[in-house]
Structure 1
Amino acid sequence: MRRWGMRESVLSHKDNYMLSLLSEESDLKKRSRQFADELNLGRISINAAEAKLIQTLVRTHGCRKFVEIGTLTGLSAQYIFEALPEGGELWTLEKDPKHGEYSAQIFAQLDQSQKKIHLVMGDAREELEKIAAQGPFDGVFIDGNKAAYFDYLTWAEKNVRKGGLILADNIFLSGSVWGEPAQKFSDKQIRIMQDFNKRLADPSLFESAIIPTFEGLYIALKK
């Protein structure tokens, strides 16, 4: 049976149909999902449909230097890495040592002869400043500490090139941003995410759109 990593507890007919059209995930991606399950975090792993969307956006946007904030067990990083052209580089940031240990095992099995993936351990707000010298970057995927989303966006505004791609997951906070929470988030997290969403909606700064996935995916181009 295929394992797709859907976050919903029950798949709808639409979900099942959509996922039936996707190719089977590789053994290495399944391994990332297994690691997430071992951490009891399988529910927050990106699902295959969202991952393929992000992969397609990174590829069609021609990103060569890309940053991911929030590695978990290396699943989304694999999709992004596959989308990079020859000579491309991915910096993926993770704070939790156990997550990093699992991700390192995954990345060691990737063919990095034509492109590179850099696992950066530590607090993302600090590590982003350290890798800034490698920029400007062609894009960023924000999927880390929700209370730091606005800080991540501030960094992206400075270090992603004009016309660069900014992607952000979990922007609905399980309904908390509009007052119908299905999961508990702090008032600080909710306020920061609301501010984050309003910032990306500013047409003077970004050309943006929201994909109404289960948790919400923001897609923006920096003006």
Structure 2
Amino acid sequence: MRETVLTSKENYMDSLLLEENENKKMSRQFAEELGLARISISPAEAQLIKTLVRLHGAKKFVEIGTLTGLSAQYLFEALPEGGELWTLEKDPRHGEKSAKVFANLDQSKKKIHLVMGDARAELERISAEGPFDGVFIDGNKAAYFDYLTWAEKNLRVGGLILADNIFLSGAVWGQATQQKFSEKQIRIMQEFNQRLADPALFEAAVVPSYEGLYVAIKK
């Protein structure tokens, strides 16, 4: 999720992409209605995660943090025939909007599962469906390390980890930010980033987007 006004660079990147379809526009409209448009994923980053998931060949994928179902649509499109996406959301208002969006998707050849509840508990519940091929982490920042611990146990070797907002708008390196992050959120994100940087555990790289995207392969 992003939390900034679009820069000229972001506007230019978005201009190079195909216009989003009506269902994706619906997700953006729902986010606007909820006052959350500022944290919806940008078209450029959404296309990036879609491309990475498709290149990886993931078939069973998990998303932590559905919001209004925008990023889930990109992930769903990246999956091959027979693929499944589990997308987790705690807020019932977000879940209601996402369900309306997902009802419009053609799920005759692949499936999307909207899982409502606290992600830490629901991840344990869906573990029986694993091992999974990948996960997109974009939920509660204070729980990122818990999400990663789950991923280490439940992704196959070679599984893909994508994690958004890893810079916390610069708070992880001490920069003052408009959004106030707690000391706990900052500490946990720093620990999360250091864990993914461990070459014994992951093959990883940071995409230097405004909010930062970690891309890692589990060894």
CA distance in 1, matches of 2:29, 2:102: 15
- Name the count of aligned residue pairs: 218
CA distance in 2, matches of 1:15, 1:42: 15
Q: 1:6 to 1:30 in 2, by over 3 A?
A: farther
Contact 2:41 2:70 in 1 (8 A): yes
Letter matched to residue 195 of structure 1 = E
Residue of 187, 198, 203 corresponding to 2:199: 203
Q: Which residue is 2:145 aligned to?
A: 150
Q: Which residue is 2:183 aligned to?
A: 187
Query: 1:7: Cα distance to partner?
Result: 4.6
Residue of 17, 23, 26 corresponding to 1:28: 23
Q: 1:93 to 1:10 in 2, by over 3 A?
A: closer
Identical residues among aligned pairs (%): 76
Query: 1:9: Cα distance to partner?
Result: 1.8
Q: Which residue is 2:109 aligned to?
A: 114
Residue of 47, 52, 61 corresponding to 1:57: 52
Query: 1:17: Cα distance to partner?
Result: 2.2
Residue of 120, 124, 139 corresponding to 2:119: 124
RMSD: 1.1
Contact 1:7 1:47 in 2 (8 A): no
Query: 1:15: Cα distance to partner?
Result: 2.2
Alignment of 1:97-108 (within 5 A): 97-108=92-103
Unaligned stretches of 5+ residues in structure 2: none
In structure 2, the residue corresponding to 1:80 is in which secondary structure? helix
CA distance in 1, matches of 2:213, 2:174: 18
Query: 1:6: Cα distance to partner?
Result: 7.1
CA distance in 1, matches of 2:90, 2:12: 36
In structure 1, the residue corresponding to 2:62 is in which secondary structure? strand
Q: Which residue is 1:15 aligned to?
A: 10
Contact 2:2 2:165 in 1 (8 A): no
Q: Which residue is 2:61 aligned to?
A: 66
Q: State the TM-score, normalized to the length of structure 2.
A: 0.97
Moved more, 177-186 or 137-146: 177-186
CA distance in 2, matches of 1:36, 1:63: 27
Query: 1:18: Cα distance to partner?
Result: 1.5
